[in-house]
Structure 1
Amino acid sequence: MPGADRHQPDTPTLRADMELLSEAARRAGEIALRFFGKHPRSWLKDGKSPVSEADLEVDAYLIDALRSARPDYGWLSEETADTEDRLTRATIFVVDPIDGTRAFLAGGEEWTVSLAVVTDGRPVAGVVYCPVRQEMFVSGAGQGTTLNGASVRVSAQAEMRGARVAAPPSLLSDPLLLEAGIEPSDRLRSLAYRLTMVAAGRVDVAAARAHANDWDLAAADLLVQEAGGRLIDLSGQPRTYNQVSTRHPALLAAPLQLAEAARHILSRAVV
């Protein structure tokens, strides 16, 4: 298992990884766009989660592009069979070839390619790319967060009343949130993109119900952190990745000044 003493990659390695992820995400987006709006073959995994031929083609490209460039890194992807090998690696790629496959298949714009490098349980480089909107969010540990090369920050919203909140529709209609005076955002079916909107300052708080996986979260986690916010569970703790189980409890992303108030409200509303 990765050790408890976490270390940061040196700056040249970190920047090289950020560039590698950015280029891979851009190319992956081009591949996905070839299928977008053209009714690709799709089916359900485990009887509930949609996957399409586009997801698999993007995944195959990413395996080749990323693992050939960093053969010593482990691998965790939504569309690749998981193995225990990753648990022996201090550094791994965490990949979601198409985050928001339901949006992708329905012709929505907000699906993304989500890529991260995780070292000793925490993301150190991350990219969330929205091909339809041509939005490339990039972050590295200690490097801040950028959108198409320009720095972005979380919002300065000071209280939950009037805060823009992105969450599943069933949560946004919860009486506790409505009583708190929040402003529901548009529906965002890519969880990575939903969380990234906090990093960009477009929404103030984003929430996720339990059972999201590493590949949904790792890249966006770093983007939020480097933009001045936090991604935490409802006990207030940050997340650790590349564990035996890839699943996570209910979570929220928020600027530092809103995190505790958001946690207090959401911990009573989220089941």
Structure 2
Amino acid sequence: MAEPLVADIQADLALITDAAREAGAVALSHFGQNPEVWWKNSGQSPVSAADFAANECLEDLLLRARPDYSWLSEESGDDFARLEADATFVVDPIDGTRGFLKGKKNWMVSVAVVRGGRPVAGVLVAPALDEVFTAALGGPALKNGLPIAASTLRGETGNLELCLPAAMLDGFSPPFRARISKAAHIPSLAYRLASVADGRLDATLVRPNSHDWDLAAADIILAAAGASLVDDAGRPLTYNRRALRHGTLFAGNPALVGTLMREFAPPPVM
């Protein structure tokens, strides 16, 4: 696969940013209006009329502009033809649907362009908070047009501000756990990762079974902000594979991620 030109990546970033803003406005029109809800994954995950409306908006805008790109969205059927495509839009029309339905404002529209298994442009839009995070390959991470940077704490001493599932906190030893200031629950994984990118959180852990669409846009924003998103072997993630689920993940600056990986020892699965 030929390397995309910088101009092409920037054009893609502008496109997905405009589309995510528009889809965010569509979703926001349903926010607090009790949209119709269905249940998927054997009743485990809600999906609403707002998710479908935002998804339709994104699919129309993006594939009309880039008909040669493939499509991967949480709210669309999967087409394995994407595995052969040079570029793929990876989309979550509303990340944090549970919070959205409960009136929480920190839900996001997540859109990335993936080439060669890695994101080259990404945008996260939180319409109810008027926040827009963007990054493209080789460029800065921006929040509402201003540069952001991840925490530089190494984690060897002092307290750490983390947001992570309660069960994962038990994977740390009591002395290390005592140093963790656990932030309030954030229903949207994308928003939690964005909060690592802009330094509001020092780091986070992600429990197994997150999907490409939860992660791809946040991944490049984290990287541009000086952080990393890696699996439990310290490897960067690969996207647009046949399998879309990921295992335990760590996000934060590389030194802090190294500390967390050394300290984290989840109990064995019985």
Class of the TM-score when normalised by the shorter of the 2 chains = over 0.9
The alignment status of 1:131 with 2:127, answered yes or no, reads yes
What is aligned with 1:171? 168
CA distance in 2, matches of 1:270, 1:22: 42
Q: Does the 8 Å contact 2:90/2:212 carry over to 1?
A: yes
What is aligned with 2:242? 244
Q: Gaps spanning 5+ residues in structure 1: where?
A: none
Q: Secondary structure at the match of 2:246?
A: coil
Q: CA deviation at 1:90?
A: 1.9
Return closer, same or farther for 1:261/1:79 CA change in 2, 3 Å cut-off: same
Return closer, same or farther for 1:15/1:48 CA change in 2, 3 Å cut-off: same
Return closer, same or farther for 1:61/1:163 CA change in 2, 3 Å cut-off: same
Q: CA deviation at 1:169?
A: 3.1
Q: CA deviation at 1:159?
A: 1.4
The alignment status of 1:231 with 2:226, answered yes or no, reads no
Q: Secondary structure at the match of 1:37?
A: coil
CA distance in 1, matches of 2:268, 2:237: 18
Q: Gaps spanning 5+ residues in structure 2: where?
A: none
Identity %: 42
Return closer, same or farther for 1:270/1:185 CA change in 2, 3 Å cut-off: farther
Q: Counterpart of 1:168 in structure 2: which amino acid? A: P
CA distance in 2, matches of 1:99, 1:270: 30
TM-score by length of 1: 0.94
| Structure 1: 4+ residue segments shifted above 6 A | none
What is aligned with 1:44? 39
The alignment status of 1:32 with 2:27, answered yes or no, reads yes
CA distance in 1, matches of 2:265, 2:232: 6
CA distance in 1, matches of 2:166, 2:103: 19
CA distance in 2, matches of 1:270, 1:200: 33
What is aligned with 2:253? 255
What is aligned with 2:110? 114
Corresponding residue pairs, total: 265
Return closer, same or farther for 1:85/1:231 CA change in 2, 3 Å cut-off: same
Moved more, 96-105 or 158-167: 158-167
Structure 2 residue corresponding to 1:61, chosen from 57, 63, 76: 57
CA distance in 2, matches of 1:114, 1:148: 15
Q: Secondary structure at the match of 1:123?
A: strand
Q: CA deviation at 1:263?
A: 1.3
Return closer, same or farther for 1:231/1:269 CA change in 2, 3 Å cut-off: farther
Residue deviations 1:190-213 (CA, integer Å, cap 9, x gap): 111111111111101111100100
Residue deviations 1:78-115 (CA, integer Å, cap 9, x gap): 00000111011021000000000000000001110000
Q: Counterpart of 2:226 in structure 1: which amino acid? A: G
Q: Secondary structure at the match of 1:144?
A: coil
Q: Does the 8 Å contact 1:55/1:79 carry over to 2?
A: yes
CA RMSD of aligned residues (A): 1.5
Q: Counterpart of 2:146 in structure 1: which amino acid? A: A
CA distance in 1, matches of 2:46, 2:220: 26
Return closer, same or farther for 1:57/1:40 CA change in 2, 3 Å cut-off: same
CA distance in 2, matches of 1:236, 1:175: 17
Return closer, same or farther for 1:187/1:90 CA change in 2, 3 Å cut-off: same
What is aligned with 1:93? 89
Moved more, 32-41 or 8-17: 8-17
CA distance in 2, matches of 1:177, 1:228: 27
